[in-house]
Amino acid sequence: MNVRLLPDGHLAAKAYGRPVAGGRGAYVSFRVPDRPELAALITGAASHAAGMWAAHRGLG
């Protein structure tokens, strides 16, 4: 899954997977379904990542 922070502060997410009905063998992107449990998962992960960035200690 790829999550981006948009300039307006909202999140955008795309997921990647293999087509179930054959087709191309490579992974393809698709819009994450608009479901509350997925939105909560993405929001929680983004908040956790923000906390990790805020706590960084510079280059090692």
Taking only the tens place, the pLDDT of each residue in 1-56 is 888 888 998 888 888 877 666 666 667 777 888 899 999 999 999 999 999 999 99
pLDDT at 60 over 90: no
Q: What pTM was estimated for this model as a whole? A: 0.68
CA distances 60 to 11, 48, 50, 56, Å, are 29, 21, 19, 10
Q: Alpha helices, DSSP H only, in 1-60?
A: 36-54
